[in-house]
Structure formats: C-alpha cells, structure tokens
Amino acid sequence: MKFGKEFASQMVQEWQEAYMDYNHLKTFLKEILHFRQRNASPTIAVTPKGSLKRRESLYRAFSGLTSRYNSLKGSPKKDNEDEVILVSAMQQEGSEGCYQTMFLMPSEEGGGQELMFFRRLDDEFNKVIKFYKAKVEQVMEEAEELNKQMDVLIALRIKVDNPVAGLRGAKVISLATSPSSIPPSIAGRKPGMSQMDVIQEVEMSNEGNLEDETRPVNEQNRSKHRKSNTEKANNVGFGPALLEILNHVKINVTPETPVSTLKTVLGSSRSELSFSKEELTKVEEQMRQAFVEFYQKLRLLKSYCFLNQLAFSKIMKKYDKITSRNASKAYLEMVDESYLGSSDEVTRLIERVEATFIRHFANGNRRKGMKTLRPTAKRERHRITFFLGFFTGCSIALVVAIIVLTHARDLLKSEGRGRYMENIFPLYSLFGFILLHMLMFSGNIYFWRRFRVNYPFIFGFKQGTDLSFRQVLLLSSSLAVLTLAGVISNLEMEMDPRTRSFKALTELVPLALVIFVLLITFCPFNVIYRSNRFFLIQCAFHCLCAPLYKVTLPDFFFADQLTSQVQAFRSLEFYICYYGWGDFKRRSNKCLESDIYKIFYIIIAVIPYWVRFLQCLRRLFDERDVMHALNGLKYFSTIAAVVMRTGYDLKWGVTWKIMAAASSGVATIASTYWDIVIDWGLLRRNSRNPWLRDKLLVSNKSVYFVAMVLNVILRLAWMQSVLGFREAPFLHRTALTAVVASLEIIRRGIWNFFRLENEHLNNVGKYRAFKSVPLPFSYNDEDKVV
C-alpha cells in the first residue's frame, strides 16, 4: 500500500483537517517533476546511478522520539557547502512557534515552484504544530481535573471503609499513588515540605515496583485490601483528615434517569455526599470510564504526532529524490527539534495514566488494567463467513421451494387464498419487516466503513463491540431460514374436511417464532452478541421512558427506526388478537369488528412518533434550541396525519379522507424538507458543491441527487391510501400494505447513511473525536473547581 493511502487510513477522521495535507504537497512535487522532465538539461539530469544517496535510515529523521532538545536555537548548522534551505523559528511577537523555510536557490530554473512548495510545507507544519500544542494543553488541563477528582475518590474510599477516619488532619496523596505504598520516609516528612513534593517522591518510589504488581486481587479480598490501605494510611498520617476535602465537595447530579429527572423537576435533587457504598461504586464506575476515554485520547494524540512526523519525512525524501538535492536533513532536524518532535508530555502522561489506572481500578493487576485501557481489536472470523454463506444458501433454497410449491399446487387460485392472506400473511410479514430492516442496516454498516464514517463513536459503542456487516447479515440470514421454514409449514390452504380445521401444531409456528426471537433478545447469557442486544434494549427502554431520560443520539436514532416499523407493531397487535381472541385452528378472526382493536390500531401507530415528540421536548428543555421545537411540531403533524389516515383506512367516512389528505400532505412536505435540509444538510445554494454541502464523503455527486429524489418518491408512497391506491388488481390488500411498509423501511435505510454522514462531518468540523464523560465531583467554593 502506498504511504498516501496508509496515511489516510490511519488518520483520526474527526481530525483529518488538522493533519498534514500530504496529497496536496505531492501535487507540488509532481509539478516540479513535470517541469524538470520538460526542461531536462545535463546540469540537472538525474544520473543513472541516482543522485540521491540514502546515507541515513528512514528513522534517522525521528531522533526526536528518543533524544530531546530543550529549545530551538536559530537555524541548523551549515555542515554542507551545498546548503539548500535555512529553517528558523519566527521570534516576532504574536508569531512565536511559527517556522519559516528560506529556499536559497530561487533564481534557478524552476526555483519558483520549489519556493511555493516550501511555503506550503511551512503552512502545513505550522498548522500541525498549532493543533498539536493546543491538544496537549487541553489534555494537560484534563489531567489536572482528573488528578483533583482522584484526590476526592481516594478520600471517599477511605471514608466509606473507615467512617471514623477523616476526623483527624492529614492530606490525601495524588492520583498516581495509593495509601498502601507510602514509604516510611514520606510519613515523617519535614514541616516545610509541600504537598506536591510529597506526591512526586511517593510516585518515584512507586513506579519502579508497579510493573511487578501483576497478581490479581479477587473481589472477596477487595474490602480487606481497602481496609489495610486505610490502616496503613492512618499509621503514616495521610488517610485521616478527609473533612478538609470532602466538606467542600458535592456530587454532580444530572437528570439521566427517571428518578433523578423527577427529583430535578421537583427541586429535590440531592448533591451532598452520603458516604455510602452504592455511591462509591457509582463514582468509581464513572471515574473508570473517564480514565478509559482520556487514555484513548492520549493514544490517538500520540499517533497524530508520529504520523505527521512520518509524513514530513516522506514528503521531504520525495523532494530530494525529484530535485536531486539534500534538503531533507536540515528540515527534518528542525522537525525533531520542534515541539512536535521534542515534547514528551503525552508519553509521560500515558505512563502516568496507566500507573494510576492499574493501581486504583485494577487492584495492581497490570494485565487486567491494560486489557481495559487497550481492548484487543476484534478479528473477523472465518466461521462467520462460512455460516453466512450456509444460511444464505439455505434461504435461497427455501425461497425456491416456496415458489415451486405455490406453482405446483396452484395456490394463488385456491379458495383458501383469501383466508390465508387475512390471517397467516400478517403473522409472517412481521419477520419480513425485521429482516428487511436488518438487511438495510448491514448495507449501512458496509458503506459507513467504506467511506470511513466513524459510526462506533457516534453511536457510543464500547471499543470492539460494534458489529460488522457480515455479522448483521448472519443474524438476518439465520432468522430468514427459520421464517421461510415456518412459511412452508403453513402453505396448506384448505381445511381438513373431516375436522374442518387446520393442525394446531403448524398454526402455532408463527407464535413460536415470536417467542423464540424474544427469548434470544432478552437472554442474559453471553451468547449471540449480548452487549449489542443489551444496548438495543437500553435504547428501547429509554424511548419508552421518554422524556425522563436525557436524549442521546442512539436514543433518537433508534426511535426514528421505530417510526418506519409502524406496520410491524400492528402485526404484533394482530398476534395478540389472533391467538388470544381468534380461532387460529380455523384461521378466522374478528379483530377488525372490535372497537377496542381499532382504538389500539391507532394508538400503536402513534406511539413511535409520540416518543420522538417527547424526545424533542426533552432536548428543547436541556439545550434551549428552538430547532427541537420545530422538529417536535413536525412529529406532531405526523401524529395527526397517522390518526386521520388510519380513520380513513377503517372506513370512517369521506370527511376523514379529506382530513387525512390534508394532514398527510402537510406532514409529508415538512418531513421531506427536514430529511434533506436538516438531517442530511443538503440543498445549500452557496456551498462549494452547488445544492449539496461543502463536504461530501461520496465523490459521485449524482448519488446525493438520486437519494433526494428517492426520498421524495418513497415519502409519497406513504400517502398511497389517501391518494386512492388502496387496492391493486394483482395484489391482495394486506400484500399492498406490506409493500408500502417495505418501501418505508428502504427509505429509512437510505436516510440512515446520509444522516450519519452529516453527523460525522459535523464532528469533523468541530474536531470532536471523543465522547465527554461527566466527572462525578465538584467543589462548592468558587475559587476551587474540579
């Protein structure tokens, strides 16, 4: 793989604008190369043996990774008589830290192009330096906040394990140490010795022994371990006097659960420390998540530093090769001596975070701690591909079998066809809707990965738990096999003339399939992607409890998926009616004759849109953004349209048809505009890509226009009943309803890709590559903030 592609593949996509623009610099070099080829002369011709001698290794340019310099002093030494460039740091006020390259041969033929190359190279290098320095300052501030949080956590641990402690007067050591490892020399420190001096001395004494602490501590011994820590801390004078810290601290209470939300609304939210073990457990989990996210940020920042150094090395080597000069040595020495090459704050902070996390959150077990901080990358397994192919082949064979049986028995002209379509078809259409949605989502995952949309970060998946498109296809193909096998078992159209009924066992197959799918979904054992199933259940629970939970992107994204599965929810309602009050042995029901069934037929269709409406209200309350109010009005108009259209479908009169047509038209126009303009960010007249947006991930712009047209057409399919297309001569009414519902699922699959693409580009524009984890503590005093 060429370096340009490898460089792009290893970028943090949300920071891609901050990386060195390698491809753009290569275009300058190509122009220089073409100019030299057109104007080749003996003085500048490349000799057959090659004019550039590689006297040093590629990694010689990275001496800054192993040897550090305190500061940049002027320009590089002139070791060679054929000096090509001079690199110096700008010392003027307001431009400190900027580097400028002076090209010493601008009068040569083609020198103007080389001069432009170095100007652009300086711009890229200064951009990288500025971004890297800003990010390092940011992580140093976050490290200071985590340090203060750890002070309080250690104090809280000692207070919970030994409530009597904290009434005497000493201080808690810093985050990188634990009370159990304080040497006796520190306990008897001099009165004039500062707190930070003590912390540094303790850390230096501990870091050497930390690597050997790999023996795990089980949960049974954890409390004993804490108590021994408390006793040792009391003996050396560091654990007790906790009121000095804990009296000035409160727990940050955010309305993230139904109970906390209600308490906040009623004004009775409690933020004082209760010193309970439940509180300590919650705080520890919150701090653990904060450390994991912070560590990932440090790793990516270190990768950013290394990749950019490598890119500058590569581009300078290319320059030397094309121009037959020796400018890379001087420039890469400057890179090594700059802040990018010489600073080691990130490396030292990574080591400190590892030591802190292992000591305080892994009980000294380095293997366990590093497994949490650096989870192993998920590997694609051959058995997934094998079973995917196997179940797909079985599904195709079953589809062929159904077609052959239908044609051989002439089932389409059978007298029992109407009874089958009214009773059995709605039962199996539920699985058809689910399968289609899974197929569309697997396609979404494939294209998100192809166009490098960081969907695991956007959805908030834990590292290594997100499913690949093959795994989603495997689940859908296995479900398809079960469903198609059930369809074959229920293909009998005529009753048994002796009993005037169907076999009870085969008639219960659809119900057995639903129960099986629900059991797998809620199975507590670690089988069939448990973390993903529980994530799905959590999102569904948050939707049901709206607006009591704070709305996150996975929650409202999942609720949007539910709005495209209205017919699936109605199929579930039909299951209850058919097997509860119908005569499933004779394939007969009177569901549509029941007023209760009709009322719930409307309620179930409204629930997904009502959930989104409540989520918009919650986001309006939290974020104070009027756009959420407009979005809520859009969903409210859809609720009105669904009610009117369902009333017309239930044959409630011509008046309902007029109201359904009017409300459906308004809802369709509003939803289509919101999809394209707000959710997708398209139709920007003054953008760099006319009528699209400034940044696009798909290079073929026609894809976006086709998607917009399809969205409009498929939105209109939603109005088929009020437009007069309630029946088709070649399709049963229930089949037509299933087709329209399938078109809506397809529209939702298309919407998913462009919605997440727009979200990804917004994160890129804000350099937002990490989720923010709220810290558990805050100080009461105005002059102290944690």
Domain residue ranges of the chain, discontinuous segments joined by + = 3-42+55-138+296-343, 155-275, 382-765
Q: Where are the alpha helices (DSSP H) in 545-653?
A: 553-563, 566-580, 595-623, 626-649
Distances from the Cα of 181 to the Cα of 154, 170, 514, angstroms: 13, 16, 57
The pLDDT of residue 305 is above 90: yes
Res 186: pLDDT:
33
Asked if residue 248 lies in contact with residue 781, where contact means CB atoms within 8 angstroms, the answer is yes
Asked which of 344-348, 445-449, 495-499, 691-695 is least confident by mean pLDDT, the reply is: 495-499
d(CA 491, CA 417): 10
Give residue-wise pLDDT tens across range 671-689: 999 999 999 999 998 899 9
Tokens 């121009």 sit on residue: 323
**CB atoms < 10 A from the CB of 415, how many?**
8
Q: Tens digit of pLDDT for each residue in 99-113? A: 877 777 766 766 777
pLDDT band of residue 371 (cuts 50, 70, 90) is confident
- Looking at residue 256, its pLDDT comes to 67
**Dist CA 543 CA 721 (whole Å):** 29
Give the separation between CA 437 and CA 455, rounded to whole angstroms: 18
Decide: residue 65, CB within 10 A, 0-12 exposed, 13-18 middle, 19+ buried: middle
pLDDT at 185 over 70: no
Least confident residue range of 161-170, 284-293, 722-731:
161-170
Radius of gyration of the chain (CA): 33
CB atoms within 10 A of CB 255: 20
85-89 vs 99-103, strand pairing mode: antiparallel
Contact of 682 with 696, CB cutoff 8 Å: no
Determine which helix (DSSP H) or strand (DSSP E) holds 60, and give its type and residue range.
Answer: none
Share of the chain above pLDDT 70, in %: 77
Contact call for residues 453 and 763 (beta carbons, < 8 A) = no
- pLDDT band of residue 163 (cuts 50, 70, 90) is low
Burial, 240: exposed, middle or buried (Cβ in 10 Å; 0-12, 13-18, 19+)? buried
Tokens representing residue 18 in the block: 């901050």
By the 8 A CB rule, do 659 and 644 touch?
Answer: yes
What one-character-per-residue DSSP string does 27-58 give?
HHHHHHHHHHHHT--TTTPPPTT-S----S-G
pTM of the model: 0.80
